[in-house]
Structures are given as C-alpha cells and as structure tokens.
Amino acid sequence: MSGWEAVMSHNISWDNEDQTVVLQQYTDDASKDDLYYLAEKSARMLATVEHRVHLIIDERKVNLLLNSADVHYLEKQTPTNQGAVVVVAQRLKQKYKTAAQEMNRKFAPNAFGEPYFAETLEEARLFLQENFEVRYPPQTSEA
C-alpha cells in the first residue's frame, strides 16, 4: 500500500509547532482518492492530540464534486477535536464552494461547519492567528 500512496496527489502535515493546525494540500492530478486519504490521515493526526486542531485545506489545484456518499464519509471521519476549517481557493471558486458547503452542512454538520475561505496560505494562517489564537513562528512563509 505504501507504494500506491507515493503516487497520491496530496500532502498533509502539521502546520505549526504547537500542533494546532493541519495543512492539507492537493497537488497536480488530485482525485477523490486523495480526498479520502486526506480525511483518514487528518483524523489519525488529530487523534494524537487532545486539544482543538484547525485545518487549512489548499484546494487551488483541485476541482472535486462531492456526492452524498463522499459527504457521509467525511462526516464519519471528522474528529471531535476538529476546529475551524479554512479552504484556500481562488476567489472565483469561493462563491460556489460556499453554496456547496451550505448544502452539505445539512447532511454533515461536523464536516461542513462554518465555511472560511482564503486566497493564499498566508491569508489562511493570518485568519487563524487573528480569530483562533493560533501561533506561528514569525518567519512562516507560503510554501
């Protein structure tokens, strides 16, 4: 299985030293398999800590349309200590993503809470710092 994961089109990591933010990034040629792997990996990471953990999901390189099975799966994978989710997307896609999140929230209230959007990783990090008291080292820059 590890050989197959190597060809997956995503990255996931802690985004700060306090382990209060997980960064999920889709890379080129991402598919729904990446969505499922990211949900599973994120849930495992959040299970290693007891405090609330926020997510930054960089969707600038992906266009996924979720069906009801996807939404249900994401709801089942959402840990109780998951905090705010900031989606990084182009401004033109944010209106559509907001509408999709509002619709999905009816069926998956934990996975699709209040939608927050940013256009860059820096903007997402700043939003979490200003609104959720997340700490980053001063030199953190966009990857």
Q: What is the pLDDT of residues 50-72, one digit of tens each?
A: 999 999 999 999 988 899 999 99
Give tens-digit pLDDT for 103-117. Answer: 777 888 888 887 799
What's the sign of the alpha-carbon dihedral 102, 103, 109, 110? negative
Residue 53's Cβ-side half-sphere holds a number of Cα atoms within 13 Å equal to: 28
CA–CA separation, 49 vs 65, rounded Å?
31
Q: What distance in Å separates the CA atoms of residue 50 and residue 34, rounded to the nearest whole number? A: 26
Predicted TM-score (pTM) of the model is 0.86
User: What H or E segment, with its residue span, contains residue 26?
Assistant: strand 21-26
The confidence band for 5, taking pLDDT boundaries of 50, 70 and 90, is very low
DSSP sequence for 2-18: HHHHTT-SEEEEE-STT
